[in-house]
Every structure is written in C-alpha cells, then in structure tokens.
A and B are shown apart, each in its own frame.
Chain A
Amino acid sequence: MTTPLQLEVRRPAGEFDVVMTLDVPSALEYVGPAVELIARHAPASLSARRVRFNLRTALAEALANAIAYGNRHDTSRVVRVRVEADWQGVRIHVRDDGAGFDPAAVPDPTLPQNLEREVGRGLFVLRHLVDHVAFNAAGNEICLTLRAG
C-alpha cells in the first residue's frame, strides 16, 4: 500500500450529521485499511457489534467487488466511497468506473452445485448483513443502509 488513504469528514448543516468521503485506489490491499478507517469513524447510532461485524464485512464486500469487477484492478482508477450518517443510522455509497452488472443474474451460492465454489458469495453475504441494498440504474454504484441499533 503506497498511497495513503485520506478520509474527508464534514459536518454539513443539512440532511446528515456527518458526511465522509474516501477515494480508494483499485488494489485489493487497500480494502482492509479503508474498512478500518471508515469503521473507526462510524456513527454512535450503530452498536459496536454491528460496526465490528456487519459494517466491516459488508463494506469489505462492496469495495472488493468494485475494485475487482468494476475497476478491474486498474490502479489509475479509484473507488469512491461516500458515507452519510445521522441518528437514524448510516448509508454507504460505493461507486466504481465499471460498466455495471445485473445483480439479479448472480447465482445463488447456497445451492448444492455452488457450495464448493471459491467465489460468488459476496453479494449474497452483503445482502444479509445490512438492512437495505440498492443499486443505481447503471449498476456501478451500490448503497448500503444500516439502521441505528
């Protein structure tokens, strides 16, 4: 990891209490440090347990997908993360420069024929760890919502 990660934290006088932005280079070695950086600034409205497990795991999945499948490990591109936090919880937007994908086309990793596959669980895991998952129309941005608690 050669590029230091710079988390920008703002407290805008508007809809959210805190807005954080982070650009993550498209290399998988940045996933862990980026997750830790954001988790350390997680809002108090989320329990420590949900930050430790749900937020960290879901964000790691979203970042890894954006780096590997969206930006295809192209280090000249960055994955853009925007975190909006308030008393109701947190919304995390993860955006890549890729062509997007159809989330409905991802096979169910829990089917017997897929169980011993090494890959293909990311989206499934992510959906089970957060309260809501949404994609933009192009399929290159995911929004994860974790409600307070």
Chain B
Amino acid sequence: MSFSLQKDKRGVVVVGVDGQLIVGNRQELKQKVVDALDGGARKFVIDFTKTGYIDSSGLGVLVSLSKKIREQGGDLRLAGLNEDLQTLFELTKLDTLFAITKTPEEALAAF
C-alpha cells in the first residue's frame, strides 16, 4: 500500500491510493496532501483506481482534507471509485459532500 503524488502542468496535484486507505495509513495520506497544500497547491484529485478498500477512518481523513482544502480556497475531487467504493460513499451520504468523477482524467478536465 502506498500513495503516489504527481503534479500536472497546471499545478493540479493527483494523489493515487494503491491498495487501501485505512486507519493504519491515513495519516500518511493526510501529511502528503497537507504538505502540498502548504507548498501552495490548491487543486487536488485523489485517484482510487487502484484502491481495494477504504474504512471509516479513511473516509474521515477525506472529510478532514476536504475541509482544509476548502478553507484555503482550494478544491478536492475524487475519482476512479469502483462500484463497491461508490456504494460506500452513497450509503454514508458522503457522495453529497464530494465532487466525484469516474476517471482522474474527468476530474482534471473539470478544473
């Protein structure tokens, strides 16, 4: 499990979540995004294309990051959720809190 971080030409940061986003690694994701935010980045995409599962702590860290980014005038989008993960966001009603696109490319195009 790991997180990759890439910045495109326009400065949009794309974070890939490989494996799982859970209680044991959520702080690592949070730190990476906060560091990028402190470094001036304001537009973020978190790509779940390679993610198997997310627990409630993982959901919680996304809620927290979304708030932090919005407070700085930025924007966070989520992309690449498989059917199960999409259902998880729907049943927790977090799909109403996040901008979610099918692919990271769609998320990038929407900025």
Q: Contact flags (1/0) for A111-145 with B, using CB distance below 8 Å? A: 00001111111101100100000000000000000
Whether A17 is near chain B, meaning CB under 8 Å from some CB there, is no
Q: In the docked arrangement, what's the CA distance between A103 and B67, Å?
A: 28
Q: Contact flags (1/0) for B55-66 with A, using CB distance below 8 Å? A: 111011101100
Q: A121 to chain B: which residues have CB within 8 Å?
A: 56, 59-60, 92
Q: In the docked arrangement, what's the CA distance between A141 and B94, Å?
A: 29
CB pair B92–A32 under 8 Å, yes or no, is: no
Known A-B contacts A31-B23, A32-B24, A121-B59; the reply to A115 vs B96 at CB < 8 A is yes
Q: In the docked arrangement, what's the CA distance between A56 and B1, Å?
A: 14
Known A-B contacts A115-B93, A115-B97, A116-B97; the reply to A56 vs B24 at CB < 8 A is no
CB pair B53–A116 under 8 Å, yes or no, is: no
CB pair B93–A57 under 8 Å, yes or no, is: no
Q: Tell me how far the C-beta of B74 lies from the nearest C-beta in chain A, rounded to whole angstroms.
A: 16
CB pair B63–A122 under 8 Å, yes or no, is: no
Whether A83 is near chain B, meaning CB under 8 Å from some CB there, is no
CB pair A118–B63 under 8 Å, yes or no, is: yes
CB pair B53–A122 under 8 Å, yes or no, is: no
CB pair A110–B93 under 8 Å, yes or no, is: yes
Whether B84 is near chain A, meaning CB under 8 Å from some CB there, is yes
Q: Contact flags (1/0) for A18-62 with B, using CB distance below 8 Å? A: 000000000011111001000000000000010011101100110
Known A-B contacts A116-B97, A118-B60, A121-B56; the reply to A53 vs B24 at CB < 8 A is no
Q: A89 to chain B: which residues have CB within 8 Å?
A: none
CB pair A60–B55 under 8 Å, yes or no, is: yes
CB pair A61–B61 under 8 Å, yes or no, is: no
Partner of B52, one of A52, A118, A124: A52
A contact set with B: CB distance below 8 Å: 28-32, 35, 49, 52-54, 56-57, 60-61, 64, 68, 109-110, 115-122, 124-125, 128
